[in-house]
Structure 1
Amino acid sequence: MKRQTGFTLVELVIVIAVLGILAGLAIPYFMEAREEAAKKECLANRTQILRIFHAQHAAGYSSDLTTFLTEAIEETDNKYFTFAPKCADNGTYSVSNEIVVCSIAEHNEESIIVSGGIGKDFYDKIVDALNGLDLTSNDAVRKWWQEQGHDWDKVQGTVGNVVKELYLMFHTGTDPANKDPLIYVNPNAVGQNWKAKYIYDSRTDKWYRYKDSTAGGSNDGIDVGSAMNHSGATGSGYIDKNVIGNDKWEEVTLNGSNFSK
């Protein structure tokens, strides 16, 4: 009597049923993973567009973000990308509150974080400008900077409980040729006796905000120019000594050109 080979109908039905159950369990996870990957790719594209916009703006680009976005997603003759950044789920990009958003609402659940953005671009620009410059005072450095045709870039931040337009500036302490200047944000575009409302740590690409409610503070920030000149500390030296671990300062995030906690 010959032994029967192969599968019986019952065995095939069982195998098919098990495979069906496994597929039913796995497919939602695959779909979820695919959707999450598409969201991450979309976020990365929009973040990169914003980063390059800030870099171009620091280099003298004069148009707004809406105009830049049109250029950045151009399919042919793209000046900024080797390939046009697109949403993986065929969403379209536009500008809202000075950031790039996607037409697919779920893709905007995670905020675009450009923690340094303008700060890093401005810091690098100042370091390059001061390299080898022989001026004897910080005021002379900033006067020279403005004589080169540079205006102070602007961002949005809070002063007290009011959102204001603030000016991005720098301080070099007692050594104008110092390659580690302090980048800060000031409510007033002035060159003397400034007050720092926000300061930037170039090593960690982080911003810090001076708290209004702290005793001895003011709505305009803290006057640290004289303290820096006495200590000779600028940039990271000042941040290490006076900011990190100090409860008068809090870390904040720069989203596009808007500060937030």
Structure 2
Amino acid sequence: MAWFKREIKGIITTTQEKKETPDGIWNKCPECKKPLHYSEQVENQYVCHYCGYHLRIGSKEYFSILFDNNEYTELFTDLVSGDPLHFEDTRKYTDRLKETQTKTGLKDAIRAGHGKIDGLDIVIACMDFNFIGGSMGSVVGEKIARSIDHSIKNKIPFLMISKSGGARMMEAAFSLMQMAKTSAKLALLSQAKVPYISLLTDPTTGGVTASYAMLGDINIAEPGALIGFAGPRVIKETIKKDLPKGFQTAEFVQEHGFLDFIVDRREMKEKLASFIRMVMPAGDVKEEI
């Protein structure tokens, strides 16, 4: 019965010889659900070429997009989180840190680097959502503070790329202290007349939104980014009113005056360089000739 077996030569009769597609080569756009090849994502700076949806990316990808030739000096690489409260829920905080560090290859939810954008010196601190939801702990606050000090010392603009679920509960008050700490450092940056650019990406929420993410000399967001402080349910229960649709999107936030611009990721580098040249005094702009 040829119906149940293949007798023609050249036709693969088992699945063992089939080549499987490696993980990560293809994924689906969360918005339009169309398949995206990895090479297309990189070429289009991780923006869906069908619908323009901005895929979530981390510091590695942002650095490759923004720094000239992906060349930069990473700053403060020795900082790692401690466990000041000896926090333990279903497992120890220290165990979760080690597991996440191994899985992501990161030491914490932020990386900082000094390099050039279109020939202009800049310090960039970028959060990584894959590291415990991009939560703001002591290391995040300390790296931001040291990055600001580096910008002040060298008179270099500072760019903060926020992507976070908020404060890290495992560090409790130590985490919340970073809101005041980073805000105070940004005040010193302002006094030194060094530009601070805040870029809010999807998602930017909680204590991060309530502190350094909204304190930029210019606040920029990517299209469609979720931006807010508390979740919709908590807000509704607090104000006892129905909330407008899409009230935590970048577009809604800009419409109500909390953002200056929404910039497509593919145009971000050009826009940042243009802004730096506009606001930095001519003698202070450090630029390659």
TM-score (norm 2): 0.26
Q: Which has the higher contact order (CA 8 A, sep 6+)?
A: 1
State the structure with more CA Rg: 1
